[in-house]
Amino acid sequence: MPLGSTTYHFKTLDELLVAALRQANEGFAKVVAGRGGLEDPRTDLAAELAAWMGEWLAGDRTGVELEYELYLAALRRPALRPVAAEWAEGVAALLSRRTDPVTARALVAVVDGICLQVLLTGAPYDEAYAREVLGRVLAGARE
């Protein structure tokens, strides 16, 4: 994109990064909404989450890496923090339809951790492993 186009639409680099992170958040939200597995209480939540991650990570790897780079840029750019938090809060709110809020936030943390491990190590995504770990979190909530 030409510099003139970006400076016309965005006054600062932070404004541009906020818009990019919002767009990245929408990409994951589309994966979640497209699957529609949360509506049915009989759906295995751990399996559904593991499938979400698999679908997301199977997409354009460069795009997924960019999304996480934007997400983690919030560590150094305070303007991005509310947008980064929106992603985690939005997914936790979706999951709270099926479990308690604390467990929902724990599931979001596990999803984040597994995705980061896959991206950082270059290892292939192991859906069975993800399903097992997420299932353990959910089982702990039931105890």
For the chain, the structural domain boundaries read 3-142
Concatenated DSSP letters for 11-42?
A: SSHHHHHHHHHHHHHHHHHHHHHHH-TTS-TT
Retrieve residue 127's tokens: 């859906």
**CA gap 124, 139 in Å, rounded:** 26
Query: Residues 75-102: pLDDT tens digits?
Result: 898 988 998 888 888 889 888 888 999 9
**CA gap 72, 69 in Å, rounded:** 5
Q: Closest Cα partner for 125 from 76, 61, 32?
A: 61
Considering the four listed CATH numbers 1.10.150.20, 1.10.357.10, 1.10.150.530, 1.20.1560.10, the one that applies to the domain covering 3-142 is 1.10.357.10
**Once rounded to an integer, what is the mean pLDDT over residues 38-58?**
88
* pTM of the full structure: 0.82
> Which own/partner pairs from 12-18 qualify as long-range (CB within 8 Å, at least 24 positions apart)?
14/77, 14/79, 14/80, 15/79, 17/70, 17/73, 17/77, 17/79, 17/80, 18/79, 18/80, 18/83
Q: What is the pLDDT of residue 7?
A: 60
Retrieve residue 100's tokens: 């308690």
pLDDT-derived band at 143 (thresholds 50, 70, 90) equals low
Query: Residues 23-34: pLDDT tens digits?
Result: 877 776 677 667
Provide the residue count of the chain: 143
Q: Closest Cα partner for 124 from 77, 39, 61?
A: 61
